[in-house]
A and B are shown apart, each in its own frame.
Chain A
Amino acid sequence: MIFEVFRQETETDYHTHVGNVHAPDAEMARMFAQVAHARRKPANSLWVVPKAEISEVDADDPGVAMGGTTQKEYRWATNYSTGRMAEEIEASEAEQAEAESRRRRPSAAGDDGGDD
């Protein structure tokens, strides 16, 4: 069976997908994942999930339109002009603007040192 492996770097992080292991069951998958995906860089936690258990929604699936297809600017702070706001509101708007600008840009090549 194939188990997908997810790493959590520290207590406060989300688990991130890092690869898989082939194993007969979850117990062996847990043992193998520790060596295959965390022997160099210890993680705080590893999840191993049978590949078959992972249910996916894909942007290319028929009928899927994540985020919708009609105007939804009402959901965005950037839609509203109200002059200066408290700093946490300004920060929220800046975050939304950045997220939107990244969404419109093609992804850049990752150059991180890998997970393990």
Chain B
Amino acid sequence: MDLPTVEERAGPRQFGPTDEMPLEYREAATRMIQFHANSEIMGAYIERPFIRQAPSLDRKLAVSAQVQDEIGHGQLLYRAAENLGVKTREEMLDELANGKGKFLNCFHYPLDNWYELPMIMFFVDGAAMRRQASLKRTSWEPYAHAIDKICFEEGFHIKHGEDILRELANGTRRDQEKLQEAFEKWWPRILQFFGPTDDQSTHDDFSQTVGLKTMSNDALRNAFLNAYLPKAEKYGLEIPEYPRVEYHESEDHYEVYEEDLDWDEFFTVARNELPTGRGQIAKRRRSQDAVEWVREAIESTPTGGQPATAD
């Protein structure tokens, strides 16, 4: 298939593994899905310490299940990407370990305490859900299929996140203060989740013309703010004055003053150059290196296994 045909036929779930897709499409799709898969893994990484630290049995179960789901989503997404024939799962995981693999901005920052957890579990996961809902209409069918499953599982993540938020918001004065602090720290990063508005993003145009991406950054962010700003207010969180977010009633649109956000930092993060992000990548690599011997052992057992090449 040539590119003009792709652009013409582009629509929800139009393309699958039996279609001969042009390289440009396959590379764009791989990049997008790989980013998503990497984000699931790194999101899991950032949340995992809170399994140990959860302040009740049921919360511990829920956080463990969330982290588990995220690894599961990574598994589904790498597979959807592998189908494009550009990179194997092993190659993508190696790239994540050696710092080449990109992932969501929010997961380059540390989560310092329980108060910050709902910022990820509710707001960031909520933003991710919004994006995922739009991806149900992506043109690469295996990606859409993985998204179906992810959306099915992920609902409880955000609801659990909101429950944690609610508990803290209804807690002591100190809880509320700490919560507000956490919110102010994370708010700019959450706003940057969807990336810069359309004129600043490099890959977006192509992704949209071939149906991989179905909603613009701006539209996604707007939908997110529509749903989550009222929630923030419901829990007594004060939206900081900066960065400025103005609601224009006539257009039902939230205007975010992009100049109030630190895009230098964002692009540093996007290049995997933020120190805390590099730290996360390095930590994960060490953990993965430490279990390399296990992968070797099972790949060589007499019961089966093939050499550890393109799996």
Interface residues of A (CB under 8 A from B): 1-2, 19-22, 24-28, 36, 40, 58-60, 106-116
Interface set, chain B 142-171, CB cutoff 8 A to A:
144-145, 148-153
Chain B residues within an 8 Å CB radius of A1: 304-306, 311
Query: Are A2 and B299 touching (Cβ within 8 A)?
Result: no
Q: Is B136 an interface residue (CB 8 A)?
A: yes
Query: Are A19 and B76 touching (Cβ within 8 A)?
Result: yes
Partner of B144, one of A36, A110, A116: A110
Query: Are A24 and B79 touching (Cβ within 8 A)?
Result: no
Q: How far apart are the CA atoms of A116 and B68 in the complex, in Å?
A: 14
Q: How far is the CB of A113 from chain B (nearest CB, A)?
A: 5
Query: Are B72 and A25 touching (Cβ within 8 A)?
Result: no
Partner of B136, one of A20, A59, A108, A111: A111
**B76, B298, B311 — which one has the most chain A CB atoms within 10 A of its CB?**
B76
Binding site secondary structure of chain A:
loop
Nearest A-chain residue to B298, judged by Cβ = A24
Partner of A24, one of B76, B152, B299: B299
The 9 closest A-B pairs by CB, nearest first: A25-B304, A114-B149, A109-B12, A114-B148, A24-B298, A114-B152, A24-B305, A113-B152, A25-B303
Known: A26-B304, A109-B136, A109-B137. A19 touches B13 (CB 8 A): no
Query: Are B153 and A40 touching (Cβ within 8 A)?
Result: yes
Q: How far apart are the CA atoms of A52 and B102 in the complex, in Å?
A: 31
Known: A24-B298, A24-B299. A59 touches B18 (CB 8 A): yes
Q: How far is the CB of B99 from chain A (nearest CB, A)?
A: 23
Q: Is B250 an interface residue (CB 8 A)?
A: no
Query: Are B144 and A25 touching (Cβ within 8 A)?
Result: no
Interface set, chain B 9-42, CB cutoff 8 A to A:
12-14, 18, 20
Q: How far apart are the CA atoms of A24 and B294 in the complex, in Å?
A: 11
Q: How far apart are the CA atoms of A2 and B20 in the complex, in Å?
A: 23
Chain B residues within an 8 Å CB radius of A60: 18, 20
Query: Are B18 and A25 touching (Cβ within 8 A)?
Result: no
Chosen A-B contacts, 23 in total, with CB atoms closer than 8 Å, are A1-B304, A20-B79, A21-B75, A24-B301, A25-B301, A25-B303, A25-B305, A36-B72, A40-B153, A58-B18, A106-B14, A107-B13, A109-B13, A109-B137, A110-B145, A111-B136, A111-B148, A113-B151, A113-B152, A114-B145, A114-B149, A114-B153, A115-B149
Interface residues of B (CB under 8 A from A): 12-14, 18, 20, 72, 75-76, 79, 89, 136-137, 144-145, 148-153, 298-299, 301, 303-306, 311
Known: A36-B72, A114-B152, A115-B149. A19 touches B305 (CB 8 A): no
**A19, A20, A36 — which one has the most chain B CB atoms within 10 A of its CB?**
A19
Chain B residues within an 8 Å CB radius of A113: 148, 151-152
Q: How far is the CB of A48 from chain B (nearest CB, A)?
A: 12
Chain B residues within an 8 Å CB radius of A21: 75
Nearest A-chain residue to B71, judged by Cβ = A36
Chain B residues within an 8 Å CB radius of A108: 12
Q: How far is the CB of B252 from chain A (nearest CB, A)?
A: 25
Q: How far apart are the CA atoms of A114 and B305 in the complex, in Å?
A: 30
Q: How far apart are the CA atoms of A2 and B304 in the complex, in Å?
A: 12
Q: How far is the CB of A31 from chain B (nearest CB, A)?
A: 12
Chain A residues within an 8 Å CB radius of B13: 107, 109-110
Q: How far apart are the CA atoms of A19 and B12 in the complex, in Å?
A: 20
Nearest A-chain residue to B20, judged by Cβ = A60
Query: Are B311 and A116 touching (Cβ within 8 A)?
Result: no
